[in-house]
């Protein structure tokens, strides 16, 4: 009997992707116990990416790196064969801040330290998943962690953070780790923003990281200076603005190639092989909305499923039936349909999801 493939992303703020998959599996088992299911939690390159690939057979390497506020934080990367998966959010994510946002001084140093750990482990391919960053430093912290020096006109090293880049005079790459030239880098992101301007890292994402209008203007000027020193030709590249400009550093200094995050993760998870045995795919995320349609995990799963029917589960669904159908979803089951209060829905998400999965199974799975 063909199986049901359960491949959801996280419900942010309430359930990890693995917890979502487990709840859906339990709901199906309660009403259709004879149907085999396979759980394959996914991610789109943002937070949860390392957990997803570890659940699919990668090995977790634990270390301690510099957090976005300069404090030590525990972080992980995942390795298998020649490949390492580095998740920016593990080291430099908003959830790593010990207090309020630090839009001007938050650093991506810890992400560079995770890459350094991948180099020490001997990997020749590094997938850098970006998303959920606390910093808008253009990846300056990342490159310093790999041996670069950012110097002002007096030859003194700049302090961490994006704002300091207004004083950048030159970038010294002579101390850059030589192993970088032997490694293939892939930037896994669904963001196509450039580094600068109205659609750039500071203007679009700075306010989400606590930046005021004046601070956004300062950060954009600082990133403009950073780009002029490092290589302005990369500033307009799609994805350069990802993760506060970490995408720019990955493209310009590491020579990374950009690929859609969900595409890379599904490849690492072996989704193409898994879906061959499936008669139904269940995916989802916390909120099915217009962002879902632009490269988020559920839409990527729906595309990759080919002719296999796909059903979505979510905390809430803001898409019309027509939008769902156009995106490849046969139906959607939202927790808000049975518990409209958002706080109660998030607090009791696992039980509600089991209930909705049972309804899904009754509606779409026969014996």
Q: pLDDT for 165-174, tens place per residue?
A: 999 999 999 9
In a domain, 139, yes or no: yes
How far is residue 97's CA from residue 91's CA, in Å, rounded to a whole number?
10
Q: pLDDT for 38-63, tens place per residue?
A: 999 999 999 999 999 999 999 999 99
Q: Give pLDDT, residue 159.
A: 98
Q: Which domain does 276 fall in, by range?
A: 3-42+270-364
Q: pLDDT for 312-324, tens place per residue?
A: 999 999 999 999 9
Q: Are residues 120 and 242 in the same domain?
A: yes
Partners of residue 3 on adjacent β-strands: 278
% of the chain surpassing 70 pLDDT: 99
Q: Are residues 237 and 292 in the same domain?
A: no
Confidence (pTM):
0.93
Half-sphere exposure of 52 (CA within 13 A, CB side): 34
- Best CA proximity match to 44, nearest among 239, 204, 263, 259: 263
The pLDDT of residue 25 is above 80: yes
Which residues have a Cβ under 8 Å from the Cβ of 214 and sit 6 or more positions away? none
- Here the tokens at position 141 are 């912290």
- Best CA proximity match to 185, nearest among 93, 262, 249: 249
Q: Is 204 exposed, middle or buried (0-12, 13-18, 19+ CB in 10 A)?
A: middle
Q: Pick from 261, 291, 322: which residue ends a domain?
A: 261
Q: Are residues 170 and 70 in the same domain?
A: yes
């Amino acid at each position: 009997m063909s199986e049901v493939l359960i491949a959801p992303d996280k419900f942010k703020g309430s359930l990890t992707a693995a917890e979502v998959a487990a709840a859906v599996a339990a709901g199906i088992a309660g009403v259709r116990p004879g149907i085999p299911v396979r759980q394959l939690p996914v991610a789109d390159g943002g937070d949860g990416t390392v957990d997803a690939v570890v659940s699919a057979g990668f090995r977790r390497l634990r270390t301690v790196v510099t957090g976005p506020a300069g404090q030590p934080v525990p972080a992980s990367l995942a390795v298998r064969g020649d490949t390492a998966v580095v998740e920016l959010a593990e080291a430099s994510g908003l959830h790593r801040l010990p207090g309020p946002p630090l839009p001007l001084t938050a650093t991506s140093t810890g992400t560079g330290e995770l890459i350094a750990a991948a180099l020490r482990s001997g990997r020749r391919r590094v997938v850098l998943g970006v998303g959920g960053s606390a910093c808008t430093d253009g990846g300056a912290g990342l490159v310093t962690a790999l041996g670069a020096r950012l110097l002002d006109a007096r030859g003194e090293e700049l302090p961490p953070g994006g704002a300091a880049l207004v004083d950048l005079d030159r970038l010294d790459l002579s101390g850059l780790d030589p192993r970088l030239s032997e490694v293939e880098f892939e930037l896994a992101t669904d963001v196509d923003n450039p580094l600068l301007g109205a659609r750039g890292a500071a203007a679009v994402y700075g306010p989400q990281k606590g930046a005021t209008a004046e601070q956004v203007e300062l950060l954009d000027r600082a990133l403009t200076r950073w780009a002029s020193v490092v290589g302005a030709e990369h500033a307009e590249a799609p994805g350069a603005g990802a993760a506060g400009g970490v995408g720019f550093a990955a493209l310009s200094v590491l020579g990374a190639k950009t690929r859609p995050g969900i595409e890379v993760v599904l490849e690492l998870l072996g989704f193409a092989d898994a879906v061959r045995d499936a008669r139904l795919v269940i995916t989802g995320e916390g909120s099915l909305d217009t962002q879902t349609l632009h490269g988020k995990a559920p839409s990527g799963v729906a595309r990759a499923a080919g002719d296999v029917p796909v059903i979505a589960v979510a905390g809430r669904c803001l898409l019309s039936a027509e939008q769902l159908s156009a995106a490849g979803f046969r139906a959607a089951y939202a927790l808000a349909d049975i518990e409209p209060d958002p706080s109660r829905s998030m607090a009791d998400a696992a039980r509600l999801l089991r209930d909705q999965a049972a309804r899904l199974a009754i509606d779409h799975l026969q014996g």
